[in-house]
Every structure is written in C-alpha cells, then in structure tokens.
Structure 1
Amino acid sequence: MFENFMTALRVVFPLAALMGIGALVRKGGLIDRPSMRKVDVLSFRLFMPTLLFKNIYESDLLHHSGGLGFVYIPICMLLLFFVAGVYLPRRLIKNSASAASVGQALIRPNFILFGIAVAESMFGEGGAGTVALFGALIVPLINVFSTMVLELNRSGSADPKKLLISVLKNPMIIATLLALTLLALRIQIPDLIYTVIKDLAGVTTTIAFVSLGVSLDLGQAQSNRRILTWAVLARMVLIPLIFLPLSVALGFRNEPLCALMIFFGAPTAVASYPMAVAMDADGPLAGQLVCCTTVVSIFTIFCWTFLLRTLGLM
C-alpha cells in the first residue's frame, strides 16, 4: 500500500512543485500573465509537439502494433467521450469558451506522463513498453478529438472543412504525421539533430507546469467552483468507475489493464492548457482543471492501483 502511494506521489509532487514555483515567479513580479501567454503559444507550437514526436518516433509501432489488439476497445470508448465532450458542456455551461475547455478536459488524459511512471513502478524498468506503444497509438487520436471538441464548443461550427483545416493545422497532428511517416519509411534522424529534439522535449513538462502556475488565478477558481466540481468528478471518478470494471470484465490484465487504468484514470493533460489558450478557449479554467485533476489523481490512482493489485489483476 505504501509503495503504491509513493508511486503516485512521486509522479504528482514534482508537477505540483513546478506549479508552485510558477505562482511564486508571478508574485515576485518576474513575469505576468499576459507575458506568459506568449510562452503558452510557444509551448503549444514547439515544445508539446516535439515531445509527442519523440514519443511516437521512439516507439516500435511497425513491429509491435499487432500485439495491441486491446487498443480497439479504448478507441470505441474514446468515441463516446468525444460525443459527451461535444454535447454535455454546451448544455450545462453557457459560456462557449468555458464549455470548450471542459469538453477537452473530459477526453484528454495525461497519459504519457503518468503511464510510463506508473507502469515502470509496477512492472520494473522496461515494463512500460505496452503503455508506451498504446500511447503512441491513442494519443494522436486524442489530439484530433481534442481539437474538434475545442472548435465545436467554442464556435458551435460543424463545418467539416473548417474542422479538417483546424485539425490539420494543429501542431500536435503535424508532429504525429511526421513521426509516423519517418517510421513507415524507416528514416533515421541523425544523432546530432535528434539530440536537439530530445533536449526540446525534455523541457516541455517543466515549462508547461511553471506556465500553469503563473497563469493560475485562485480567485477565478472560486468563481468556477461549480464547473470545476462536476468536471473533476466526471473526469476522475465517474469515467474510471464505469470503464475500468468494464475493462476487467472484458478480460484485460497486467500491462494492458495498467494502460487502460491510466487512460481512464489519469488527470487532464497539461497540454490541454496551452492548447486551450492557443484556440481561444477559457485558458484559466483549463489550467484550473489540470491543477484540480492532478491533485485529485494522487488519491484516485492510488485507490485504483491498490484495488487492482489486491485483486491480482495487475
């Protein structure tokens, strides 16, 4: 029990500390929120896509994707999330920008960040292969759906051409297509260049969470407490409570079940914050959702990990 708790804490505490540093930076007057918005755009257009590109490029999809038949189940469930992310927020929230941020928060888990750490803790170093490959397959789809949810909720437009253009212009999608193309053509990036790519990817989490801390407005969080309450409960409690037992009933165990546990139970991805800012959604609310779900995940991931391991399922 203690080991599982420490695993969740080791994943979450550094992120919370980075947000705290960002808040201190703002209070110290080193940077203000308007200035940080430019950093958010840079993060969305450069750092986040580079991290996603690196994760996909380093995965051996061509040789191991056949062993990930279970990916079809979460894809079907992701379609359900997409429908819910489009229609529920627009009916419950009057402000379209806020509805867009909530819709994205519901369907976009922080899978890569949490998945690798949790899997290696459970199965040892090298035991996160299934989780990494699962992420390489499912994260690009999540990015596509997130872009569509943001656009549909924000503008209310259902024009297929506009949606397609919005998706194709998304830096995350461009990074995904580029990485898959290089894998398919078996093109290797020279080490000299790839070192730069890894360096850029390595600073993504730090910059994103410090930026989140700078932009966090606790006063506004109070005004959003009703939206935050039901959105956090839906993301962190309702979704895993429905779909994890279903995954067990479908026969998933060990590494595949671990991947599904993170897919359904991880907090909202930090990438949702700069993406919301870049697409004119409610950036502060998106940041608050990342903060709140991340804090709650300390308890929920611990509970699910402890339960599934106790039952001998993982």
Structure 2
Amino acid sequence: MIDAIVFAITIVLPNLFLMGLGFFMQKRGEISQTFIDQGSYFVFNYCLPALLFFSVVDSEVDYSKQIVLIIAGIIVTFILFIGSEIYAKRFIRAPTDQGVFVQGVFRSNMAIIGLATVANAYGNIGLSIGAVYMGIVTILFNILAVITLSRVSKSIDDTWTTRTIMIVKKLFTNPLILALLAAFIYKALPLPPVTGVIHTTGDLLAAVALPLALICAGASIDLKSMLHPSGLSMQASIGRIIIAPIIAILVGLAFGLSGVHMGVLFLMVASPTAAASYVMAKAMGGNDILAANILAFTTVVGMFGMAIGAAVLRLLGLM
C-alpha cells in the first residue's frame, strides 16, 4: 500500500511542483504572457520534436509490439468521442458549447502532462512507448476535433472538402508528428547512429522540453476560472477526470494490458484536457470561455486523479 502511494506521488508531484512554480512566477510578475506564448511555441516547435525524435531513435523498444496498446488507445478515444457526442446532442442546446464539451472530454494533454508523467514513471522506455502512442492518437485527436467543432461554422466556404484540407494540413505541419515520422524512417534505413554534436544538441533541447512546458502550463492557469467552473465545464471535467480513466482501465483490461503498457494507456488518457483544445475552439468559433474553464479545472484537479488512479493500479499490480 505504501509503495503504491509513493509511486503515485513520485510520478505526479514533480509535474505539480513545476506547474506551481510557473503559477507562482506569473503571480509575482516574473513571467509575462509574451514569455508564456514564446516559451510554448519554442517547446512545441523545437524541444518536443527533439525529445520525440531522439527517444525513438535511441530506443531498443520493438514498436511492432505496441500495436495492441495503440489499438486500445484508439478504441478508448472513440468511446469517449461517441459517448460525449451523444451526451452533448441530448443535454446541451447551444452548438457553440457542444463541440467544446466533446473536445474537453476526449482530448487529453498527452504531449506535455502525459509524456512527463510517463517519463517519471518508466524512464526512457516508457517515454519511447509513450511517444509512439502519442503520435498515432494525436492524428485521431485532430481529425475528431475538427469534426466536432465544425458544427458551429457559418461560413459558406466551410465545406467537408475545406475541412479535410485543414485536417491534412494540420497533420503534415505538426512538428511532433513530423519528428516521429523522421525517427521511424531513420530507424528503418541502414543509417549509422546519431552521435556527436548533433546528438548532444538534441539532448539539450530535449532536456528543456518538459520542464519548460510544465512551467508555461502552470503560468497559464486562470485561478478564477478554475475555482468558479460553470455547470457545463464541470460536466466535461467529470468526463475527463473520472470517466475517461475508468474507460481506459476497462479497455486495457479487456486487451490484457499490464505493466508499462497499462501504465502508458492510463496516464495518457487520464491527463488533463489538452491545451490545444482552447486554441482550436477559439479558432473555429466555439465557446472559448467554456474551453478555458475546462482546461483550467482539469489541469490542476486532473493531476490528483492521475495520482489516485496510478496508486490503485500499482496496488493491484497492473501498472
């Protein structure tokens, strides 16, 4: 019991400390919105791609054995998407709220919170497996997000053709997906290992990725939104913090996952709502205030849910 609790605290607390540092520095005026925006851009476009590329290139993990994990993750995503779509159509009237609610439930913050927690739990092996999982499921996230948010568009030019073009463009300009594709191609070809100056530079960029991302995430927290959630944001948060992890565990058990694979599935799915959900909701005409409320509440409270779930799974010998 004690070991399970210590394990859960060990993998979640460092992330909370770094997010708390970012929040503290922002409140003291030591971090500006410009720094947050530029830091987030730097992480997303340079540091995280370096982290993903070198974690895959350096890894000895057999990625063909991760197919079951990836299929389980895809099924979990579809269950959450379809379930939240049905709920939204039945209980939520405003189209501008429906897509934001659905996205808040099914789309988790895998790239920052998920990867950081997996790295804390399992080290480089977990990071490599988590990177591949994230790369595949991120593609699905983007497609489903465009589908659910497109219901609010009133533009004549917005058709399924233009939406498809937007999805393809997003996928093939996403630095994280490009980094993973480059890593797989490099491993598949008979090329020498990456060493020397290039690898050292990549390691330095990779080392910056998760700490800076967590600090920026903490500095972005809107305490007012978090402490005064609306009814809809609370419903979406319950879906993200409670229902999503439970479904992940049930699907993982159905596929016979355990150990690192169950841990990666749970931590990736149980992560708070993705920061990109707010940006996408705002860009596509959704209720950006609702998106911000969901993001703020799940970012903090979801971390404790991850810790509780990890402790239980560890106690049961599943993670």
Pairwise TM-score range, normalised by the shorter structure = 0.7 to 0.9
Letter in 2 for 1:77: V
After superposing on structure 2, the runs of 4+ consecutive aligned residues of structure 1 that deviate more than 6 Å are none
Q: Work out which of the residue numbers 132, 143, 146 in structure 1 matches 2:141.
A: 146
Residue 275 of structure 2, aligned match among 273, 282, 304: 273
| Aligned residue in 1 for 2:155 | none
- Which residue matches 2:304? 295
| Offset, 1:192 | 0.9
Contact 1:101 1:150 (8 Å CA) reproduced: no
| 2:28 corresponds to | 28
Distance 1:116 1:198 in 2: 15
Q: Distance in 2 between matches of 1:66 and 1:241?
A: 26
How do 1:75-154 residues align onto structure 2 when only pairs under 5 Å count? 75-84=74-83, 92=92, 94=94, 96=96, 99-100=99-100, 103=103, 106-108=106-108, 109=110, 110-119=113-122, 129=125, 131-132=126-127, 134-154=129-149
Whether the aligned pair in 2 keeps the contact of 1:82 and 1:145 (CA below 8 Å) is no
Q: Does 1:238 align with 2:243?
A: yes
Residue in structure 2 matched with residue 304 of structure 1 by the alignment: 313
1:207-226 maps to which residues of 2 (within 5 A)?
207-226=212-231
Contact 2:267–2:306 at 8 Å: present in 1 too?
A: no
TM-score (norm 1): 0.78
Residue identity in the other structure for 2:186: L
Deviation at 1:304, TM superposition (A): 2.8
Aligned with 2:171 (options 164, 167, 172): 167
- Please tell me whether the aligned partners of residues 48 and 176 of structure 2 are also in contact (alpha carbons under 8 angstroms): yes
Is the 8 Å Cα contact of residues 50 and 201 (structure 1) preserved in structure 2?
yes
Identity, in percent, stands at 19
Which of 63, 66, 69 is 1:65 aligned to?
A: 63
Change (3 A) 1:37 1:250: closer
Letter aligned with residue 65 of structure 2: G
Structure 2's unaligned 5+ residue stretches are 152-157
Question: How many angstroms does 1:260 deviate by?
Answer: 3.5
Deviations 1:156-212 (A, max 9, x none): 464212211121111222212221221122433232111111111111121112112
User: What is the number of equivalent residue pairs in this alignment?
Assistant: 297
Give, in whole Å, the separation in 1 of the partners of 2:195 and 2:16: 36
The alpha-carbon deviation at position 274 of structure 1 amounts to: 5.8
Aligned to 2:73: 74
Residue number in structure 1 paired with 2:267: 262
User: What is the Cα deviation at residue 96 of structure 1?
Assistant: 4.5
CA displacement 1:273-305 (0-9 Å, x = unmatched): 267448856474435432221132222221232
**2:68–2:255 CA contact under 8 A, matched in 1:** no
Per-residue displacement from partner, 1:16-63 (whole Å, max 9, x unpaired)?
Answer: 1222221221222223335422322222222222222232223335xx
RMSD value, Cα: 3.3
In 2 relative to 1, CA 246–273 (structure 1 residues): closer, same or farther, beyond 3 Å? closer
Distance 1:40 1:257, change over 3 A: closer
Separation in structure 2 between the aligned mates of residue 186 and residue 85 of structure 1, nearest angstrom: 45
Kindly indicate whether the alpha-carbon contact (under 8 Å) linking 1:47 and 1:201 is maintained by their aligned counterparts in 2.
Answer: yes
TM-aligned CA deviation for residue 95 of structure 1: 7.5
- Asked whether the 8 Å contact 1:212–1:287 carries over to 2, the reply is no
Q: Is the 8 A contact 2:272 2:299 kept in 1?
A: yes
Distance 2:43 2:98 in 1: 21
Q: Which amino acid aligns with 2:165?
A: K
Decide whether the 8 Å contact of 1:53 with 1:178 is kept in 2. yes
* Structure 1: runs of 5+ lacking an equivalent: 121-127
The AA in structure 2 aligned to 1:298 is: A
Q: What residue in structure 2 maps to residue 42 of structure 1?
A: 42
- Report the Cα distance in structure 2 between the residues aligned to 1:293 and 1:225, rounded to whole angstroms: 17
Q: Which residue in the other structure is 1:179 paired with?
A: 183
C-alpha separation in 1, matches of 2:233 and 2:46 = 29
Give the deviation of 1:5 after TM superposition. 0.9
C-alpha displacement of 1:93: 8.1
The question of whether the paired residues in 1 share the 8 Å contact of 2:9 and 2:307 is answered with yes
Question: Does the CA-based 8 Å contact 2:104-2:240 persist in structure 1?
Answer: no
Instruction: Note if contact 2:252-2:265 (Cα within 8 Å) is conserved in structure 1.
Output: yes
- Three-state SS of the structure 1 residue aligned to 2:275 is helix
> 2:245, 2:138 → 1: CA distance?
20
